[in-house]
Amino acid sequence: MSEFASVLRAWRDRVRPADVGLPAGAGRRTTGLRREELAALAGVSVDYIVRLEQGRAVNPSPQMLGALALALRVTPAERDHLYRVAGVAPPARGTVPEHVTPGVQRIIDRLGDVPMAVFTASHDILLWNPLWAALTGDPSRYVGIERNLVWRHFMWGHEGVEFDAQHEEDFASDLAADLRTAVGRYPHDGQLAQLVARLRAASPEFERRWGEARVAEHRWSRKTVTRTAVGPITVDCDVMTVPGGDLRIVVYTVVPGSADEQKLDLLRVTGLQSLTPAFDATGSASEPAG
């Protein structure tokens, strides 16, 4: 058995279902994840997981390795080992970090009473809890550059989210300034450079704000999410940075005792059963606004 197959099987066996928000269930022959559970978490077929563990599937893509590392809750050192034994160079240290540590994963798994998501320093969404999806629309519908908040804001606008005039101005300005901060921190990240180039070419508003050369990090805003299954909900958005990993945990909260709190409680019950109001007539997701 190859080293890749060995560590994949060993790391799958050590992840308990409760660690990833799954019920243990009865009649389990292993305390770890079943192959079908890992497949669901990584977004691949069960057959592909079987072939990887048997050494019959070779050359997994960097994207696939990243998804497996996230699903298996590995440490940064283990993630790099997984890449190397698969014959792929680990993510360079000079690029925007995308690795979600087990601790951050547990925060998202356990704190289900508030909408939460994890973004990179360049505002690509990596992870979210069910209440975030119920409030903003399911991020799994986004692909490629659409998973980037800055791209969606400047290219799609913020339909489905309302700000007052000051918060709207501050939010757009902060996004451009935050992206500039990331460029300074990760000057060798090709994807980040391409994102900025495409935004400058396609969005006059972004180009104007980029020309201001402002450097800052977005930390707080207030907005009203208008397209939820239970009606408009006004939320406060706070952004916390994960030490050492440069990830952003975005948390939405509401005023205690308010009508917004009652609506959020109701949305927590309805969950993803009715997400249609969170999407516009063309099928595009409403702006989730970090």
**Residue 4 burial (C-beta neighbours within 10 Å; 0-12, 13-18, 19+):** buried
Cβ atoms of residues 53 and 5 within 8 Å: yes
Instruction: Tell me the residue range of the domain where 204 lies.
Output: 102-278
- 128 shares a domain with 264: yes
Q: Quote the CA–CA distance of 263 and 288 in Å, as a whole number.
A: 17
Give residue 112's pLDDT band: very low, low, confident or very high (50, 70, 90): confident
Ordered DSSP codes for 226-279: --STT--EEEEEEEEEPTTT--EEEEEE--TTSHHHHHHHHHHHHGGG--GGGB
Residue 192 included in any domain: yes
CA 118 to chain centre: 5
- What is the token pair recorded at 187? 């000057």
- 80 shares a domain with 122: no
- 119 shares a domain with 69: no
Q: Residues 252-269: pLDDT tens digits?
A: 999 999 999 999 999 988
Q: Quote the CA–CA distance of 270 and 97 in Å, as a whole number.
A: 34
Residue 91 included in any domain: no
- 118 shares a domain with 76: no
- 116 shares a domain with 68: no
Residues in the chain: 290
Give residue 1's pLDDT band: very low, low, confident or very high (50, 70, 90): low
What's the domain count of the chain?
Answer: 2
Q: State residue 184 phi and psi, 5-degree precision.
A: -65, -35
Mean pLDDT of 273-285: 38
Residue 286 included in any domain: no
CATH of the domain at 57: 1.10.260.40
- 176 shares a domain with 50: no
Residue 7 included in any domain: yes
- 269 shares a domain with 163: yes
Looking at 62-76, 85-99, 191-205, 269-283, which range is the least confident one?
Answer: 269-283
- 18 shares a domain with 149: no
Looking at 89-93, 110-114, 195-199, 258-262, which range is the least confident one?
Answer: 89-93
Dihedral over Cα of 17, 22, 26, 27: its sign: negative
Give residue 286's pLDDT. Answer: 39
- 219 shares a domain with 116: yes
Residue 50 included in any domain: yes
Q: Quote the CA–CA distance of 48 and 1 in Å, as a whole number.
A: 16
Residue 95 included in any domain: no
CATH of the domain at 132: 3.30.450.180
Q: Quote the CA–CA distance of 243 and 207 in Å, as a whole number.
A: 31
